[in-house]
Amino acid sequence: MTSPEGTPTKARASAGPAKATGRRLTMPDKLVAGIASGLLRDLHVVLASHGGRIVLEHYQAGVDESWGRPLGEVGFGPQTLHDLRSVTKSVVGLLYGIALDRKLVPPPDAPLLPHFPDYPDLLAAPDRQGLRIEHALTMTLGLEWDEERPYTDPRNSEIAMEMAPDRYRFVLDRPVVAEPGTRWIYSGGSVALVGELIRRGTGKPLPEFARETLFNPLGVDRFEWIAGDDGVASAASGLRLRGADLLRIGQLLLAKGSWHGKRVVSQAWIENSFKPAIPTGDGLAYGRLWFIGEAATTALPDGEHRWIAGFGNGGQRLWLMPDAGIAAVIYSGKYNAPDAWVTPTRIWREIILANAGKA
């Protein structure tokens, strides 16, 4: 939370008095208790809504960075921008749907390489004839890509792409390692292609198209989109938003693409994006640039229900459970750490989903 003066404070409620009076612990109480116990670490922002109502809001100070550039200690509040990292990918998927609704980009089942005629050698390659735009949207191109290495390592494929003289040739020229559509390979390169299809189809840089068609309709009046040395905004990881603005995007998706009575993106695009297209190999599935899983919640009976999420390096999350009307944003500062998933997952499962249906 922030005080009336805008100074970040720890939260809107304290766990101690609730225990002393016998009052039921609220979501903020449980979040503060988890932070105090050391179980929830490196947090910057936590926001959650249920049925369109904010049920959890927390800001705190922490060490941060922007696309690897150290920012030092940042006192986070409602107006503070934060890296989305790979949650950017999910936003780009939404932008492709908006462009498709306007008939500015080819449909997902269209062949991919004809839309990159600058590479006639690749267009003619027999082993790439089966590539479709859908394969880029679902990360099933079947092209070699390695983001298992730290993003501080120049051998990481996303970093190598940023350093390449031509990012799109770098992606499209990777060795073929699987038949398109048969294997999920996490790839920022796939999303770079999606972003370029948007640019070519709309005639506008990605940030400009996003501002006009998504951010302005939602009332998002401030954002940053970091670009590489070639001046191209990173479709894979470059977007920076305030927490409340990312939550608005989540609420737009829960509202099936309409915002205050105005259609922003088609319901059909959202539904198709949220359909599992391929297993990820770790118990989850992947749609069109969204992770998909299942979990139980007190907001709904009858076992587990589908959730949808954008995940980003360091613990960045946009989580949705459409059936329950739940949206959550988590910003964290545990960049490049293999256990960065632990804290946001605990908050989502043990605090938000476990308490959303309680009065």
Query: What's the pLDDT tens digit per position in 179-205?
Result: 999 999 999 999 999 999 999 999 999
Sign of CA dihedral 30, 341, 83, 272: negative
Q: Residue 282 and residue 248: Cα distance in Å, rounded?
A: 29
Per-residue confidence band for 162, with pLDDT thresholds at 50, 70 and 90: very high
Q: Which helix (H) or strand (E) holds 205?
A: none
Across the range 56-82, mean pLDDT stands at 97
Q: Residue 6 and residue 10: Cα distance in Å, rounded?
A: 12
Q: Residue 15 and residue 300: Cα distance in Å, rounded?
A: 26
Q: Residue 277 and residue 138: Cα distance in Å, rounded?
A: 7
Q: Residue 303 and residue 308: Cα distance in Å, rounded?
A: 17
Q: Helices in 150-287 by DSSP H: which ranges?
A: 157-163, 167-172, 188-202, 206-210, 216-218, 243-254, 267-273
Please state, for a pLDDT cut of 70, what percent of the chain lies above it. 93
Residue by residue, DSSP assigns 248-290 as HHHHHHHTTTEETTEESS-HHHHHHHTS--EE-SSS-EE-SS-
Q: Over the stretch 191-250, which tens digit does the pLDDT of each residue have?
A: 999 999 999 999 999 999 999 999 999 999 999 999 999 999 999 999 999 999 999 999
Residue 10 has pLDDT above 80, yes or no: no
* Position 145, amino acid: W
- Kindly give, in sequence order, each residue whose CB lies less than 8 Å from that of residue 153, ignoring residues fewer than 6 positions away: 159
Q: What is the residue-averaged pLDDT of the chain? A: 93
Across the range 333-344, mean pLDDT stands at 96
pLDDT at 25: 85
First to last CA, the chain: 21
> Could you give all domains of the chain from N- to C-terminal order, each with its CATH number?
15-63+76-85+240-353 (3.40.710.10), 90-201 (1.20.58)
For residue 257, which of 101, 74, 135 has the smallest C-alpha distance? 101
pLDDT at 359: 52
Q: Over the stretch 273-313, which tens digit does the pLDDT of each residue have?
A: 999 999 999 999 999 999 999 999 999 988 999 999 999 99
CA–CA distances in Å: residue 191 to residues 21, 124, 164, 248, 339: 52, 22, 16, 22, 24
Instruction: Extract the tokens encoding 276.
Output: 């599992």
Q: Residue 45 and residue 42: Cα distance in Å, rounded?
A: 10
Residue 1 has pLDDT above 50, yes or no: no
Strands (E), the chain: 43-50, 53-59, 61-66, 69-75, 81-83, 224-225, 239-242, 258-259, 262-263, 278-279, 285-286, 291-296, 304-312, 316-321, 326-332
Angle at 323 between CA 317 and CA 326, to 5 degrees: 40
Q: 């970040």: which residue's tokens?
A: 8
* Position 228, amino acid: G
